[in-house]
Amino acid sequence: MSFVAEQLERLRPTWEHMLRHPFLLETRDGTIPFETFANWLREDYLFVEAAVPFIALMIPKAPPSHWELHSQVIAMFHKELGLFRERAEAVGVDMTDLRPSFTNHAFIQFLIATASQRSYAEIYTVLYAAEKAYHDSWTVVKKGIDPASPWYPFVENWAGEAFAEYVAYLEKELDALAAAAGPAERERMAELFETTLRYEIAFWEMAANGDGWPEHERVALAAAKG
Amino acid sequence: MSFVAEQLERLRPTWEHMLRHPFLLETRDGTIPFETFANWLREDYLFVEAAVPFIALMIPKAPPSHWELHSQVIAMFHKELGLFRERAEAVGVDMTDLRPSFTNHAFIQFLIATASQRSYAEIYTVLYAAEKAYHDSWTVVKKGIDPASPWYPFVENWAGEAFAEYVAYLEKELDALAAAAGPAERERMAELFETTLRYEIAFWEMAANGDGWPEHERVALAAAKG
Amino acid sequence: MSFVAEQLERLRPTWEHMLRHPFLLETRDGTIPFETFANWLREDYLFVEAAVPFIALMIPKAPPSHWELHSQVIAMFHKELGLFRERAEAVGVDMTDLRPSFTNHAFIQFLIATASQRSYAEIYTVLYAAEKAYHDSWTVVKKGIDPASPWYPFVENWAGEAFAEYVAYLEKELDALAAAAGPAERERMAELFETTLRYEIAFWEMAANGDGWPEHERVALAAAKG
Amino acid sequence: MSFVAEQLERLRPTWEHMLRHPFLLETRDGTIPFETFANWLREDYLFVEAAVPFIALMIPKAPPSHWELHSQVIAMFHKELGLFRERAEAVGVDMTDLRPSFTNHAFIQFLIATASQRSYAEIYTVLYAAEKAYHDSWTVVKKGIDPASPWYPFVENWAGEAFAEYVAYLEKELDALAAAAGPAERERMAELFETTLRYEIAFWEMAANGDGWPEHERVALAAAKG
């Protein structure tokens, strides 16, 4: 079995748990509160921005034949950032003075730490797992969302044909990298696959339920109790 | 005003919030449940272990005159790891098959990402803020804990004289680095000081209330509801 | 005086030494042996290729507002690589099985080590000094080379208007970075400026006189003596 | 055949070329000019100093069980630096205002670039090849040098029993890392083994014949001709 197939099989319950996340189901059904989605939009904007240096850090470790892919991915992220800004503008989401939530900050640190210290095949695993998770998650949303929804362009972006092909391309390459890796590296790749999935779920969790840095929750709680 | 004094002044409410954390007060008063402290012990063992590469990554960016300090800090961390193992053994805390909680994993990624990508003065800021937070936190515990407590050796370690001198040394050096930095770098240092403090609070929060990766909480919840 | 003006003033004799290098003068006058220029072409192809990861490593340390520049520089390098391949094809330079000379390998290691471990302003200094050196060097060649020369497209590329504007842009940004830096960082920037210039001269030296790895020279020498 | 045995077999002519280097033979025979050896001493002091961050950068990529080794190697380097200073003091070698020669600077950049961007097994290869080269080189010197030579303590250090055991330990570990690596990584390891050997020869070459940065040679030449 290929590396990716093996991971998806091994992690199936957790992967399916992700795909049933209330944030996705409520976005699909049109019951998601505007402010909840707006919060996700702000957070994910910061996350995609942070993914640019993540990809850049892969370049020195990549074979030169992969550089064109990385340049294209960076260009794709810039296009996504434009989509976020366009949507925010169109529906009135305030994008000023953004600061990442705790979970978002943590996920970003995970990307940068991994891309700084790990092997190319290990970093590639995180890239694939994150993109595959997004493709599958938004595919769930696509099956049911009203095409007139203001959030539909996000669905089109990640559940669309072009993104599907990109994820399929990544999968083929990741399987090749895993096939060429020794057993210890492949084990580290498997662990990073799982960790990425967990961060993705934490991200939906944060999007659905909000998440602040600890002292903020406390201060907010105290104020509410006050 | 020196950089450190300025930061401690600016962040005083949050810093004091940290020092009033229930985990610290209950450890001081001897009311902390054994399993709660044992959980902290396991998590902090992993954190101190991860701090070794954090320090190592400072070395290529440091002036050679600072290398001896870094070697000593790494040796100190190894001694701390020994203390954790000795205490765990003495009181029966299971240290097998440790895996970092979400908050711990996130804090570790923050250390490695920062040490990989930021300037020496910025990384030094994180080191200082983390060590100062530990010194102040355990100093709170020291004022009241029963010296016969099985946790007393930790108090001795971080609230003791040697550690106080080490923190004072770091403070002097950090102030010198900040004085030599330009305004943009100093601003990034201030931001990292605050971020480190927030992660420290998140760490006490995790120690007190437990924290798992999102899907685990869900699974646990579902099982409990079942 | 701005940082760049100060460096160019300080290093003027060495800079002018570079601009009088026989490789440049002979290329200008059309007296350069074909194989000498072909050797430069092969080496510089490898160098430009290695400059792609150098730029990529700047991205995580750069303000996001600089990322577009870096993406454009990477695209420019890919266009330059195309120019090398087109020229090699046109005039019959063998580009198979390229391996960097000692000096080229060293220069590439300097780029990657610097981009991996130094601050953004320090790395920017190396980028600027290298691009400025190329612009000035090829401007020397431009004053005299026969426009029908097979090497003219290289002259056009680095001595042309677009590259001049790019170098002027880098200069403005580097001056701003230096103005915001503290004195210690600015001193490290000045040192890297000089080191880059020295590597540039070493590169022309290698292009003109050939350069192999030590044991090869020996073996070649022994064979010649044999 | 183990990885190391395979490399030593493959590179035997170049390795033996290194062991016949005039610098080594003349040091063995006591015919080396004082200033030539003093020059090597100054350069190698800088090189060993730069090897400290090289080792430090291995730590985040190493399994924690290897950290003790790395700490010991750093301590060993500090001891070696002390030996250099002691010898310089004893025989009157001026150690003020040291600056690396071109070849030394290049070798240092190679260490830092490799340790920053490559996998643990690849970096380990460079460490082993450099230490093995030193052990074998100084073993050549040991067979014949007058024990009363002021340079004898260097011979004792690298050709002695403790260093031999350290190199044997590194070899065993490197063979294990190579056995666990996939074919692509093992090929990169083989290439780095060879590159390290070439830099070692370049280092002896520089020690024997002097080496300045290009413009210095020119200036010196011009002055001499003047």
Q: Can you spell out the DSSP letters for D125-171?
A: HHHHHHHHHHHHHHHHHHTT--TTSTTHHHHHHHHSHHHHHHHHHHH
Of C117, C182, C185, the CB nearest to B60: C117
Give the CA distances from residue C207 to residues C45, C145, C210, D161, in Å, rounded to whole numbers and listed in that order.
Answer: 12, 18, 6, 45
- In tens, the pLDDT along D7-24 reads 999 999 999 999 999 999
Whether residue C112 has pLDDT greater than 50: yes
Q: Residues D166, D167, D171, CA angle at the centre, nearest 5°?
A: 120
Q: Using the predicted structure, report yes or no on whether residue D143 has a pLDDT greater than 90.
A: yes
Q: How far is CA C121 from the centre of its chain?
A: 18
User: Under a CB-based contact definition with an 8 Å cutoff, are residues B24 and B137 in contact?
Assistant: yes
Average pLDDT in chain C: 94
pLDDT of residue C127: 98
The residues, ordered by sequence, that sit 6+ positions from C125 with a Cβ below 8 Å of its Cβ are C174, C189, C192, C193, C196
Burial of residue A13 (CB within 10 Å: 0-12, 13-18, 19+) is exposed
Q: What is the mean pLDDT of chain A?
A: 94
> Nearest-CA distance from D179 to chain A in Å?
8
Q: Is the pLDDT of residue B52 over 80?
A: yes
Per the CB < 8 A criterion, the answer to whether B70 and B59 are in contact is yes
pLDDT at A108: 98
Q: Contact D71/B75 with Cβ under 8 angstroms?
A: yes
The alpha carbon of residue B14 and the mean position of all alpha carbons in its chain are separated, in whole angstroms, by: 16
State what percent of residues in chain A have pLDDT above 70.
Answer: 95
Distance CA C204, CA C210 (A): 9
Q: Which one of A59, A78, A116 has the shortest CB-CB distance to C52?
A: A59
- In eight-state DSSP terms, residue A61 is G
Closest residue in chain B to residue A195, using alpha carbons only: B213
Q: What is the pLDDT of residue A215?
A: 62
- Residues from chain A that touch D117, judged by Cβ atoms under 8 A, are 60-61
* Among B101, B80, B124, B53, CA closest to B204: B101
End-to-end CA distance of chain D: 58
pLDDT of amino acid C217 = 54
In terms of C-beta density within 10 A (0-12 exposed, 13-18 middle, 19 or more buried), how is residue C59 classed? buried
Instruction: Give the distance from residue B122's alpha carbon to the nearest chain D alpha carbon, in angstroms.
Output: 18
Predicted confidence at residue A226, as pLDDT, reads 41
Q: What are phi and psi of B76, to 5 degrees?
A: -60, -45
The torsion angles phi and psi of B122, rounded to 5 degrees, stand at -70, -45
Mean pLDDT in residue range C164-178: 98
CA angle A94, A96, A97 (to 5 degrees): 130
- Taking the C-alpha atoms of residue D142 and residue D136, their distance in angstroms, rounded to an integer, is 10
Give the integer Cα–Cα distance in Å for B106 and A104: 10
Q: Reduced to 3 DSSP states, what percent helix, strand and coil does chain A have, rounded to the nearest 5?
A: 80, 0, 20
Task: Determine which helix (DSSP H) or strand (DSSP E) holds D213, and give its type and residue range.
Answer: none
Tell me how far apart the alpha carbons of residues B111 and B109 are, in angstroms, rounded to a whole number: 5
Cα atoms in the 13 Å half-sphere on the side-chain side of A131: 25
Confidence category of residue C226, pLDDT binned at 50, 70, 90: very low
Look up the pTM and report it.
Answer: 0.95
What are A67-100's pLDDT values in tens digits? 999 999 999 999 999 999 999 999 999 999 899 9
| Distance of residue B78 Cα from the nearest chain D Cα, in angstroms | 9
Of B53, B67, B116, which has the smallest distance from its Cβ to D59's Cβ? B53
pLDDT score, position D224: 47
Half-sphere exposure of B14 (CA within 13 A, CB side): 23
- Going by pLDDT thresholds of 50, 70 and 90, the confidence category of residue B215 is low
Decide: D21 and D208 in contact? Cβ < 8 Å. yes
Helix (H) / strand (E) element for C147: namely none
The answer, for A214 touching chain B at a CB cutoff of 8 Å, is: yes
With CA atoms as reference, report the closest residue to D4 among D186, D184, D165: D186
Sign of CA dihedral D128, D134, D137, D142: negative
Number of helical (H) and strand (E) elements in chain B, helices listed first: 11, 0
* pLDDT tens-digit map of B60-116: 999 999 999 999 999 999 999 999 999 999 999 999 999 999 999 999 999 999 999
**Using an 8 Å Cβ cutoff, are A42 and A33 in contact?**
no
Contacts of B218 in chain A (CB under 8 A): 17
Measure C91 CA to nearest chain D CA, in Å.
30
- Which of D59, D61, D111 would you mutate first to test chain B, the one with the most B CBs within 10 A? D59
Quote the pLDDT of residue A225.
47
Q: What is the mean pLDDT of chain B?
A: 94
Query: What's the whole-number mean pLDDT along residues B186-200?
Result: 97
Supply angle C-alpha A76, A82, A84, rounded to 5: 105
Report the C-alpha gap between D123 and D192 in whole angstroms. Answer: 8
Contact yes or no for B61 and C183 at CB 8 A:
no
Whole-angstrom distance, CA of residue C8 vs CA of residue C12 = 6
Q: Do B17 and A218 touch (CB under 8 A)?
A: yes
Contact A182/D at CB under 8 A: yes
For D201-213, how does the pLDDT look when each residue is reduced to its tens digit (9 = 90+)?
A: 999 999 999 887 8
DSSP string, A115-166: HHHS-HHHHHHHHHHHHHHHHHHHHHHHTT--TTSTTHHHHHHHHSHHHHHH
Q: Alpha-carbon dihedral of residues C196, C202, C205, C211, nearest 10 degrees?
A: -140
Cβ pair C60:A53 closer than 8 A: yes
Q: What is the pLDDT of residue D226?
A: 41
Residue C34 banded pLDDT, cuts 50, 70, 90: very high
Q: With an 8 Å Cβ cutoff, is B81 touching chain D?
A: no
* A16: nearest CA partner in chain B: B215
d(CA D75, CA A123): 32
Q: Does D174 touch chain A (CB under 8 A)?
A: no
Q: Contacts by C25-33 with C-beta closer than 8 Å and gap 24+? A: C25/C140, C26/C208, C27/C141, C27/C145, C27/C151, C28/C140, C28/C141, C28/C142, C28/C143, C28/C144, C28/C145, C29/C144, C29/C145, C30/C145, C30/C146, C30/C149
Backbone angles phi, psi at D99, to 5 degrees: -135, 135
Per-residue pLDDT, averaged over C48-63, amounts to: 98
All residues of chain D having their beta carbon less than 8 Å from the beta carbon of residue A185 are 181-182, 185
Q: Is the pLDDT of residue D179 over 80?
A: yes
Sequence-separated (6 or more) residues with CB below 8 Å from residue C39: C207, C210
Distance in angstroms (rounded) separating the CA atoms of residues B76 and B83: 10
Which residue of chain A is at minimal alpha-carbon distance from D183? A180
Q: Determine whether the interchain pair D201/C213 forms a contact, defined as Cβ–Cβ distance below 8 Å.
A: yes
Query: Per the structure block, which two tokens stand in for A43?
Result: 């957070």
Q: Who among B52, B64, B67 is closest to D59 (CB)? A: B52
Please indicate if any CB of chain C lies within 8 Å of the CB of D209.
no
* CA pair distance D26, D145, nearest whole angstrom: 9
Tokens found for residue C196: 């880059």
The stretch C179-184 carries a mean pLDDT of 95
Alpha helices in chain D (DSSP H): 3-10, 12-19, 22-29, 34-58, 67-91, 102-117, 120-142, 152-159, 161-180, 183-209, 214-225
Q: Is A90 exposed, middle or buried (0-12, 13-18, 19+ CB in 10 A)?
A: exposed
Residue with token string 């950090």: B174
Average pLDDT of the residues in A137-155: 97
pLDDT of residue A217: 53
Q: Are A1 and A9 in contact (CB under 8 A)?
A: yes
Query: Residues B138, A141: contact at Cβ < 8 Å?
Result: no
Contact C41, C84 (CB under 8 A): yes
Q: How far is B161 from chain C (nearest CA, A)?
A: 33
Residue appearing with tokens 């020690």: D207
- Please give the residue of chain C at the shortest CA–CA distance from B187: C180
C-alpha dist (Å) from residue A139 to A195, B89, C12:
22, 50, 62
This model of the complex carries an ipTM of 0.94
User: Can you spell out the DSSP letters for D105-126?
Assistant: HHHHHHHHHHHHHS-HHHHHHH
pLDDT of residue B213: 84
| For testing contact with chain C, the best of D109, D111, D123 (most C CBs within 10 A) | D109
Q: Which two tokens stand for residue B128?
A: 């200082």
Q: Cα–Cα distance between B37 and B33 in angstroms, integer? A: 7
Q: Give the Cβ contact number of residue A79 at 10 Å.
A: 11
C173 contact D CB<8A = no
Q: What percent of chain A has pLDDT over 90?
A: 92
* Residue C192 dihedral angles phi and psi, to the nearest 5°: -70, -35
Q: What angle is formed at CA C170 by the lines to CA B192 and CA C163, rounded to 5 degrees?
A: 150
Nearest to D52 among B59, B74, B78 (CB): B59
- Rounded CA separation A28/A34 (Å): 13
**Cα D134 from chain centroid (whole Å):** 6
Using the Cβ of D64 and the Cβ atoms of chain A, whether some distance falls under 8 Å is answered with no
